[in-house]
Amino acid sequence: MYTKGLLVVGNTDINISESQKRNPATEANLLVGDIIENANDIQLNDISDLDNIISSNNGSPIPLNVKRGENHIQLSITPAFDFSEKKYRLGLWLRDSTAGIGTLTYINPTSHEFVALGHPITDNDTGIILPVGKGEILECHLNSIDKGKKGIPGELKGSFNSKANSYGTILDNSQYGLYGTMSNNLINPVYTKPIPIGSQDMVKEGKATILATIDDTGVKEYEIEIVKANKQSSRAPKGMVIKVTDQRLLDKTGGIVQGMSGSPIIQNGRLIGAVTHVLVSDPTKGYGLYIDWMFN
């Protein structure tokens, strides 16, 4: 996924002589977490766009359109000439993309919309929810599993590349998941036909199942227990506390691991939510998001 604009994750001083330094980012009042959307009235799709502007600007001030929180502000940054590298630089640490492994929760068979993860993709350094410029969901090969242990979350490890089969386009990265549209059909070998959704008032504490892919053998259904079903009158995460009870899954993963976020939770033949988080203190337990908040 490429971000909409460039995310500022840090800055550094630039040596302009043997004894002098400048920090263009600080001078321009750029802050960590700012998103630079335009420079010189040019939309920034990746870091190379900004590099080209710096190279052609010969040290002149560069006007910036910056998103800070929910606000858009206008700033200006003046590049510094790096004494050692003999070129103009801004002294910014920037991020323009991210990639990772997660689980597709559902596809709407009528609209071909998909939802995944059940939580947003955030930047590791700033915690900012990354705005979507463009992105796609790709075929992934799972290579190994780091089992979850008390105090240490586990992880699904896999590989993919830009030439892998693309199944859909990412349109939005929201508090309640990753949204987009499918371009290729996917077949669920466990549930070959669509199932209804179940709102939170249908959710009961007790037995349920999740669907998860933990290796290249594909989707499997595993037993869990809904330990607690919190009643929520408005959108909020962590609606359900769940516990993995299926010994097959416990033997392989230790419970819930990173990469299983988005795994569908099914009870009484209905899709009721998605796995979103693991309890670090007990990897057999985690949280689920009600399907109400994902679907609406």
Positions marked catalytic = 119, 246, 261
Other Cβ atoms less than 10 A from the Cβ of 183: the count is: 12
**Which helix (DSSP H) or strand (DSSP E) does residue 211 occupy?**
strand 206-213
Q: How many residues in total does the chain contain?
A: 296
Q: CB of 99 within 8 A of CB of 137?
A: no
Residue pair 25/77 in contact by the 8 Å Cβ criterion: yes
Residues in Cβ contact with 65 at an 8 Å cutoff, skipping those fewer than 6 apart:
36, 37, 38, 39, 72, 74
Residue 10: how many other CB atoms lie within 10 Å: 13
Contacts of 94 (CB under 8 A, 6+ apart): 6, 7, 8, 9, 36, 47, 50
Q: Is the Cβ–Cβ distance between 1 and 98 less than 8 Å?
A: yes
* DSSP strand pairing (2-11 vs 92-97): antiparallel
Amino acid at 46: D
Neighbouring CB atoms inside 10 A of 136's CB total 15
Strands 257-258, 154-159: pairing kind: parallel
Side chain identity, residue 235: R
Pairing verdict, β 257-258 and 177-182: unpaired
